[in-house]
Structure 1
Amino acid sequence: MYLALKHLHITCVVLSGLGFLLRGFWMLQESPRLQGRLPRVAPHVVDTLLLGSALALAFLSGQYPFVQGWLTAKVLALLAYIGCGSVALKRGRSKAVRGIFFVMALSCFAYIVSVALTRHPAGFFAGL
């Protein structure tokens, strides 16, 4: 059960990241594709599965945010990612602002993945 949840979680991470990247490029190009049904619905489905699998993995492994430092770092970075992504795709007043927040959101995403891979709050920077 744990391994299946882990694979589901990793698959959803990849789909979520690639979907955000694609929607960000469409936003920068001002593509009408961004307003299609699939780009508006799919991220909610994928991210719900992502969050659900994360909660199930935490429960099954007995590792919880605010107990484990690396999980706390992931949760806090996730909040930053959501905020930056929201400004990047919807709330930014200009293309320049949306572009800056798009890069910031991608940086948050990369940090979250690095923390997950290293299981250290500093992520890939832990070895420096």
Structure 2
Amino acid sequence: MYMIVKHAHLTIIAITFLFFMINFVLTMKGSDKVNHKLLKVGPHVLYTLFICTFIYLVVVNPLNLYPFVNGWASSKLGGFVLYVLSITFALKWAKSTPWRIVGLISTIFWLAMTARLGFADHLKSKGIEEGANIFYNLGKPMLTAIC
């Protein structure tokens, strides 16, 4: 059951990003289709499912990775919150094209950082004091490559 929920969790992440990209393109075009009911309600349903699968994975996880106890799990939760805030910034708060593009880049960055953190198996067993700077340690090489 754990693996089924884990794969559902990863699929939900991919679908939320797909919804974001569709909304972003429609917003940049100034299309009225951005107000379609599926595009308005769909992401909220997916975020709810995401949180439900997250809670299940945290409760049942075999490595005892709990947010606010383990730095890895806390960083994953923080990455998700920043990912959602970046989406909100790109689609709702930003009023000009340059700021929307900043929101797009921020969204992609936080998705990539959180995904990269998910594959950092050596960090999963560290405590919060060792893992407090996980995003900084993982992001430094990525930012160096981009700049």
TM-score, normalising length from structure 2?
Answer: 0.77
- 1:57 aligns with 57
- 1:40 aligns with 40
RMSD: 2.0
State yes or no: 1:14 paired with 2:27.
no
- 2:84 aligns with 82
> SS at the partner of 2:27?
helix
User: Percent of pairs identical after alignment?
Assistant: 24
| CA deviation vs aligned residue, 1:61-120 (integer Å, no higher than 9, x gap) | 132112222211111122222222111101112222122112111211111111112244
Q: CA deviation at 1:15?
A: 0.7
| 2-structure distance, mates of 1:95, 1:17 | 19
Structure 1 regions of 5+ residues with no counterpart? Answer: none
Instruction: Say whether the 8 Å CA contact 2:86–2:107 is kept in structure 1.
Output: yes
Instruction: Say whether the 8 Å CA contact 2:2–2:57 is kept in structure 1.
Output: yes
Instruction: Say whether the 8 Å CA contact 2:113–2:138 is kept in structure 1.
Output: no
Structure with bigger gyration radius: 2
| 2-structure distance, mates of 1:27, 1:84 | 15
- 1:93 aligns with 95
Q: CA deviation at 1:124?
A: 9.2
| 2-structure distance, mates of 1:49, 1:41 | 13
TM-score, normalising length from structure 1?
Answer: 0.87
- 2:112 aligns with 110
Instruction: Say whether the 8 Å CA contact 1:28–1:99 is kept in structure 2.
Output: no
Structure 2 regions of 5+ residues with no counterpart? Answer: 124-133, 142-147
| 2-structure distance, mates of 1:39, 1:107 | 23
